[in-house]
Structure 1
Amino acid sequence: MTKEYRSEAMAAIHETMEALHEVGAVGKKTMRTFDDTCLTNAQPIPPEVIRALREREHLSQPVFARYLNVSKNLVSDWERGVKRPGGPALRLLAIIEKNGIQAIA
């Protein structure tokens, strides 16, 4: 999975810190701080975009739910705006939006 950085400078700094972490010069706590500073947050996805994404991939709600490891009812709730995806589901939706369902299949 590729990381999305706030800027090219942040990418360079983060990659340097990762190398230092791998050789033991930087601890886990420091790396968590750099992750938080350098990496972008997942952006909310509106209900209509979730539905369009599912339809673009030619998937029914139950099949789409299986790919995301959630219930069909939850996908339905997302598409109606009753609930919003968060955490890992939001990341998976962003990956599907960018690379297609084959990215997680």
Structure 2
Amino acid sequence: MSKAYNMISASLNEIIDDLETSNGSNLKQTVLTIDVNTVRTFTPSEIKNIRLENNLTQNLLAKFLCVSKKTVEAWEAGKNKPNGPSSRLLDLLSKKAIAPLRS
């Protein structure tokens, strides 16, 4: 599992423990289970196609993903790969589930 997953899981377990040991108060407890899909891996050409399908320059895509233009250039050149959050946003962009705002 990822470090982020482990941190979130530990935090949720602490909350549950706190609720269970809260001096007999009548707090209603609900456990929510969320399935998270694995992070998709994109090829350089897929990244470029996603960018072009959304009518974005490398600079605009970089701003949308909160990365540098050089990072987007490296992804499209195959030198680096997007990390988890960037991959998730790219996946949403590819599915047209989200769209970048333009001023």
TM-score, normalised to structure 2, is 0.63
* Cα shift at 1:63: 1.0
* Cα shift at 1:100: 5.8
For residues 14-25 of structure 1, the aligned pairs below 5 Å read 23-25=28-30
* Cα shift at 1:40: 1.6
Q: 2:83 aligns with which of 83, 86, 93?
A: 86
Counterpart of 1:83, as a letter, is: N
The reply to whether residue 98 of structure 1 matches residue 95 of structure 2 is yes
Structure showing the higher helix proportion among its residues: 1
What's the counterpart of residue 47 of structure 2?
A: 50
Q: Residue 57 of structure 1 contacts residue 101 of structure 1 at CA under 8 Å; is this kept in 2?
A: no
**Structural RMSD (CA):** 1.8
Q: Which runs of 4+ in 1 moved over 6 A?
A: none
Q: Residue 47 of structure 1 contacts residue 81 of structure 1 at CA under 8 Å; is this kept in 2?
A: yes
Judging changes above 3 Å, is the alpha-carbon distance between structure 1 residues 63 and 101 closer, same or farther for their aligned structure 2 residues? Answer: farther
Count of residue pairs brought into register by the alignment: 74
Identical columns (%): 31
What's the counterpart of residue 71 of structure 2?
A: 74
TM-score, normalised to structure 1, is 0.62
Q: 1:62 aligns with which of 59, 64, 67?
A: 59
| Structure 1 alignment gaps of length 5 or more | 1-22
1:25 and 1:57 map into 2 onto residues whose CA distance is 40
